[in-house]
């Protein structure tokens, strides 16, 4: 019968013949189908005794004679701890698919038998072992989206991923009650609690006493167990557009209590249950509406977020051994690995990044490096180097900087917020100012003006920073340094590995491409060429996998290339004709280059950083530097522009002016003699010098001389001392 068009979301599909809603039916009814207790019993015993992990196959070790779970049982007995046996459902499936399907479909019954078989087995090995060992199943063949749970999953074993959003306090639950007679002091035998109720004996059991209504509960002799309810919510990636997350209650018993805390991403394996609600005092309103919850068997913490991998959480001790690659299904991994072998993977990744944002390929390559990241390094000496790559985009308004930023924000996992409680910038305040002339309003944030030159977003909750700044003037002034254009502190600026200038260039070809791009955004233009790109989901998986599993190391050749290139870069600083050395590269650049090269190797899933990675890293750095660190007076790359905001040629000029001023003063003024007005000095200087000199420049030069103790300045008057 396939009339039911909502398929059960779990693989434990409900046969129509079983009655889709056997909720009220007693287990016997469900039991009555085709399952014999003896068969299941035998199947479980076979599984526990004989299951062998295929991964153990090659090993020759006497201990390996026993199956995986027999060893686990022995371990439990030896340690006298761990009162539960974790059973990987994949193992059950591999060993006996029929047992697996019975277990998933009738978990209450099968798990009860599991426990009995297990205790029998234990009793035979260690007759004196008294603790109860519980079977905890995990890692079902497939997990269900929370929102796809439906009535046909009730009473089935399910596996669900989600985020814990609330935990109740721990509730002690009475399991066995002990009573004492108030008359004779006799203690009763433990009375089992049955469905939340305990029957108080109304007569004292002691033959000699037999007092009635004398029994009272003795709390410290009762046996309690812990219980807790947590709320599990869908993770953001499972929520469809325009939807809100679903939640489900999960009941945790004993050892599972407090196994997770709010904010954790977990995978829960448990039994989906429904409980009738008593909605009104009369019989007729009972049992029409049900509450549902998952009775938890196993909880496993999963990654916090898609890209945030450094702090992979402590996975349950029981299965810590098999944490690698489990989040990536193996066929998916194969697909990613195939992609990584494509010769054009670098270009393909570049194309896939913000495909609707026009051009800016080298900027996108830099951003890719940021997404893939370098390796953070901690030396034994305690010195540590960051692995993250910081990027600043500076440019004309109207270029797609902020769109690029938003795209990166979207690509970075939604879950990055999970690492910090309270996701927004805490304590960030701002000041609103209004221009008295134009009435324009501006929001000033700390020292950076948000409207004009603001750092708008950071990519990652950790430390990779992607920032974007508009020039203080309406357009970028190529005659000024980056610092002068965006008014950002040099110390802050030097933290960026790559600074890109995105400027609007006049060029017919570019204009035409831009026009075509805009038109294609507005009309669904079928004529546009389709380049092969990775879809967003694949791109994210690709990056996550690389960041998690690929830790490239510098090859010797690559290290050599790095040194060679760096030396060459510094050599170029000796610009001909200048007697002063212009620094073109700083030590900080070496670190940047290593990080970029590592990221580039990661893009190919390569464990080795090769020469070509280093060459490309140099190219990326130079492209960015040519844009942002070119001294427009000399045409050379000058890192001083970034470090101090003053280019070497400008510094040279200032030094020359100080010298000229010093000479002039020595020439024209006597020690302790009468003072001269600044404006007179300026005129004299202008006569002597071919260069244009401004009063404020002279003032600056005189300031330097005053600190040397050569002159004293009183207002506009200068005195030689």
Partner 1 sequence: MVGPQYDLVGNPLGAVRATFERTAAAAASESGGADPVAAFRGKDWGAGDLFRSFLFEQDGLGKVPVLDASNLGLIKPNTLVRYRGMVQDMLGNEYYIGAFKDGSTWRTNKYTDFSPFSMPHPCDSHLWERHLFHCVPAPGQNSWTLESSPGPDVRRMPNCLAPELREKRKRDGDDDAMDVSENGHGESSFCKKPKEGDVHVSSSSTEVAGTVPEMNGGDHHIPGSSFSCLVKIYDMPESQVKLNDVIEFIGVYTFDPELAAPSDNPDDIMLDLMEDVTVQLPPSKVPRLHCLVWRKLSSHDFISRPVVEPSPSLLKGIRQSLLSHLTLVLGNDELAAQCLLLHLLSRLRNRVDVVTVGRLSLNFAGFNKESASIFGNQLYSLIQKLVPYSQAIPLSIDYLNSATLQPRKDNKSGRLVTGVLQLPQGTHLTFDETLLQTGSLTSKGVENTMLLKNLMESQKVDYDFEYYKLEMAADVQLLTLSEGKSNILPSDLVVPFRPSSVPTVNAGAEETESWRWYLATVRSLPQSTEPETYQMIQDEMVSAMRDDRSLGCSELSRWLTMAQIMASSFGEKSLSLEHWHMVKELERLRKQRMQ
Positions 271 through 300 that interact with partner 1 (CB under 8 A): 274-275, 277-293
**Within 13 A of 305's CA, how many CA atoms are on the CB side?**
18
- Helix H or strand E encompassing 443: strand 441-445
CB of 111 to partner 1, least distance (A): 20
Phi, psi (rounded to 5 degrees) for 710: -85, -30
CB of 12 to partner 1, least distance (A): 15
CB of 228 to partner 1, least distance (A): 9
* Nearest residue (CB) to partner 1, 356 versus 384: 356
* Nearest residue (CB) to partner 1, 513 versus 686: 513
DSSP E strand stretches across 237-285: 247-253, 265-278
One residue of 356, 626, 688, 717 binding partner 1 per CB under 8 A: 356
Residues from 526 through 585 that contact partner 1 (CB under 8 A):
527
- DSSP class of residue 424 equals S
* Nearest residue (CB) to partner 1, 385 versus 431: 431
Show the binding pattern over residues 311-350: x = contacts partner 1 (CB under 8 A), - = does not: ----------------------------------------
CB of 34 to partner 1, least distance (A): 17
Q: Is 532 exposed, middle or buried (0-12, 13-18, 19+ CB in 10 A)?
A: exposed
* Nearest residue (CB) to partner 1, 26 versus 38: 26
Dmax over CA atoms of the chain, in Å, equals 128
CB of 325 to partner 1, least distance (A): 25
Q: Whats the size of the chain, residue-wise?
A: 721
Residues from 371 through 400 that contact partner 1 (CB under 8 A):
396-400
Tell me if 481 sits within 8 A of 488, measured CB to CB.
Answer: no
* Nearest residue (CB) to partner 1, 174 versus 611: 174
CB of 434 to partner 1, least distance (A): 5
Tell me if 552 sits within 8 A of 375, measured CB to CB.
Answer: yes
Phi, psi (rounded to 5 degrees) for 474: -65, -30
What span, in angstroms and rounded, lies between the C-alpha atoms of 392 and 466?
Answer: 6
Residues from 162 through 181 that contact partner 1 (CB under 8 A):
163, 165-166, 168, 171
What span, in angstroms and rounded, lies between the C-alpha atoms of 210 and 184?
Answer: 9
One residue of 43, 48, 354, 621 binding partner 1 per CB under 8 A: 354
CB of 502 to partner 1, least distance (A): 10
* Nearest residue (CB) to partner 1, 45 versus 239: 239
One residue of 511, 655, 683, 716 binding partner 1 per CB under 8 A: 511
DSSP E strand stretches across 319-358: none
What span, in angstroms and rounded, lies between the C-alpha atoms of 532 and 704?
Answer: 61
CB of 225 to partner 1, least distance (A): 13
CB of 195 to partner 1, least distance (A): 10
CB of 356 to partner 1, least distance (A): 4
* Residue 574 falls in which region: left (phi positive, over 0), alpha (psi -120 to 50) or beta: beta
One residue of 81, 127, 196, 576 binding partner 1 per CB under 8 A: 196
Q: Which SS3 state, helix, strand or coil, does residue 605 take?
A: coil
* Nearest residue (CB) to partner 1, 320 versus 432: 432
Binding part of the chain for partner 1, among 73-81, 89-97, 225-233, 591-599 by CB under 8 A, reads: 225-233
- Helix H or strand E encompassing 682: helix 678-688
**Within 13 A of 144's CA, how many CA atoms are on the CB side?**
26
Give the CA-trace dihedral at 394, 400, 401, 404, to 10 degrees.
-150
Tell me if 266 sits within 8 A of 301, measured CB to CB.
Answer: yes
Tell me if 445 sits within 8 A of 369, measured CB to CB.
Answer: no
What span, in angstroms and rounded, lies between the C-alpha atoms of 222 and 7?
Answer: 46
One residue of 45, 211, 333, 357 binding partner 1 per CB under 8 A: 357
Residues from 397 through 456 that contact partner 1 (CB under 8 A):
397-400, 402-403, 406-407, 410, 414-415, 417-418, 421, 423-435, 438-443, 445, 451-452
Residues from 460 through 489 that contact partner 1 (CB under 8 A):
475
* Nearest residue (CB) to partner 1, 147 versus 653: 147
Residues whose CB falls within 8 Å of the CB of residue 384, separated by 6 or more in sequence, listed in order: 376, 377, 378
What span, in angstroms and rounded, lies between the C-alpha atoms of 252 and 249?
Answer: 10
* Nearest residue (CB) to partner 1, 25 versus 712: 25
Tell me if 206 sits within 8 A of 181, measured CB to CB.
Answer: yes
Tell me if 502 sits within 8 A of 394, measured CB to CB.
Answer: yes
Cα–chain center distance at 55: 31
Residues from 117 through 156 that contact partner 1 (CB under 8 A):
147, 149-151, 154
* Nearest residue (CB) to partner 1, 397 versus 673: 397
Size of the site for partner 1 (CB under 8 A): 120
28 is a site residue for partner 1 (CB under 8 A): no
What span, in angstroms and rounded, lies between the C-alpha atoms of 434 and 143?
Answer: 56
Residues from 228 through 257 that contact partner 1 (CB under 8 A):
229, 231, 233, 236, 239-247, 249, 251
Residues from 71 through 110 that contact partner 1 (CB under 8 A):
none
* Nearest residue (CB) to partner 1, 474 versus 563: 474
CB of 340 to partner 1, least distance (A): 24
């Amino acid at each position: 019968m396939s009339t039911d068009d909502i398929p059960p979301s779990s693989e434990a599909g409900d046969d129509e013949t079983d009655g889709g809603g056997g909720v009220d039916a007693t287990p016997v009814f469900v039991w009555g189908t085709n399952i014999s207790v003896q068969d299941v019993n035998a199947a479980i015993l076979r599984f526990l005794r004989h299951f062998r992990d295929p991964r153990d196959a090659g090993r020759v070790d006497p201990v390996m004679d026993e199956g995986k779970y027999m060893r686990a049982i022995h371990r439990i007995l030896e340690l006298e701890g761990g009162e539960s046996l974790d059973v990987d459902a994949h193992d059950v499936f591999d060993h006996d698919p029929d047992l697996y399907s019975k277990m998933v479909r009738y978990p209450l019954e099968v798990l009860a038998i599991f426990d009995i078989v297990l205790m029998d087995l234990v009793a035979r090995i260690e007759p004196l072992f008294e603790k109860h060992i519980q079977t905890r199943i995990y890692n079902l063949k497939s997990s269900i989206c929370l929102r796809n749970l439906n009535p046909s999953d009730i009473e089935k074993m399910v596996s669900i991923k989600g985020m814990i959003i609330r935990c109740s306090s721990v509730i002690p639950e009475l399991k066995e009650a002990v009573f004492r007679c108030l008359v004779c002091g006799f203690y009763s035998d433990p009375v089992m609690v049955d469905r939340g109720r305990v029957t108080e004996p109304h007569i004292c059991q002691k033959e000699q006493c037999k007092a009635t209504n004398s029994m009272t509960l003795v709390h410290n002799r009762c046996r309690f167990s812990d219980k807790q309810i947590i709320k599990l919510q869908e993770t953001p990636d499972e929520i469809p557009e325009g939807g809100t997350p679903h939640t489900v209650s999960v009941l945790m018993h004993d050892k599972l209590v407090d196994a997770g805390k709010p904010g954790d991403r977990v995978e829960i394996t448990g039994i989906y249950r429904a409980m009738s609600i008593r909605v009104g005092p009369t019989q007729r309103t009972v049992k029409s509406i049900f509450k549902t919850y998952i009775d938890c068997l196993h909880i496993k913490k999963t990654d916090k977020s898609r890209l945030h991998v450094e702090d992979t959480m402590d996975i349950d001790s029981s299965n810590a051994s098999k944490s690698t690659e489990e989040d990536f299904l193996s066929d998916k991994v194969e697909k990613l690995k195939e992609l990584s072998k494509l010769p054009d993977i670098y270009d393909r990744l570049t194309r896939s990044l913000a495909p609707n944002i026009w051009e800016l390929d080298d900027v996108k390559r830099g951003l890719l490096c940021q997404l893939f990241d370098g390796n953070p390094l901690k030396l034994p000496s305690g010195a540590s180097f960051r692995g993250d790559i910081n990027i600043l985009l500076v440019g004309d308004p109207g270029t797609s900087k902020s769109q690029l930023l938003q795209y990166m924000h979207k690509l970075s996992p939604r879950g990055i917020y999970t690492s910090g409680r309270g996701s927004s910038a805490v304590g960030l305040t701002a000041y609103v100012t209004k221009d008295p002339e134009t009435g324009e309003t501006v929001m000033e944030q700390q020292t950076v003006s948000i409207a004009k030159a603001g750092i708008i977003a950071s990519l990652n909750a950790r430390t990779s920073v992607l920032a974007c700044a508009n020039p203080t003037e309406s357009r970028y002034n190529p005659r000024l340094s980056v610092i002068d254009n965006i008014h950002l502190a040099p110390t802050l600026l030097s933290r960026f590995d790559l600074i890109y200038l995105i400027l609007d260039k006049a060029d017919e070809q570019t204009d035409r491409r831009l026009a075509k791009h805009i038109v294609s955004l507005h009309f669904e233009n079928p004529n546009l060429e389709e380049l092969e790109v990775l879809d967003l989901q694949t791109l994210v998986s690709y990056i996550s996998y690389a960041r998690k599993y690929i830790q490239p190391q510098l090859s010797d050749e690559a290290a050599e290339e790095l040194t060679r290139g760096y030396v060459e870069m510094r050599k170029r600083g000796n610009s001909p004709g200048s007697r002063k050395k212009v620094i073109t590269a700083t030590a900080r650049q070496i670190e940047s280059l290593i990080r970029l090269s590592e990221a580039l190797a990661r893009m190919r899933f390569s464990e080795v950083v090769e020469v070509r990675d280093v060459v490309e890293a140099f190219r990326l750095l130079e492209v960015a530097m040519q844009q942002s660190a070119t001294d427009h007076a000399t045409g050379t790359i000058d890192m001083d522009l970034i470090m101090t905001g003053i280019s070497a040629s400008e510094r040279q000029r200032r030094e020359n002016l100080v010298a000229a001023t010093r000479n002039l003063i020595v020439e024209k003024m006597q020690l302790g003699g009468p003072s001269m007005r600044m404006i007179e000095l300026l005129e004299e200087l202008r006569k002597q010098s071919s260069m244009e000199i401004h009063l404020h420049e002279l003032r600056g030069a005189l300031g330097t001389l005053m600190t040397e103790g050569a002159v004293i300045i009183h207002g506009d008057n200068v005195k030689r001392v």
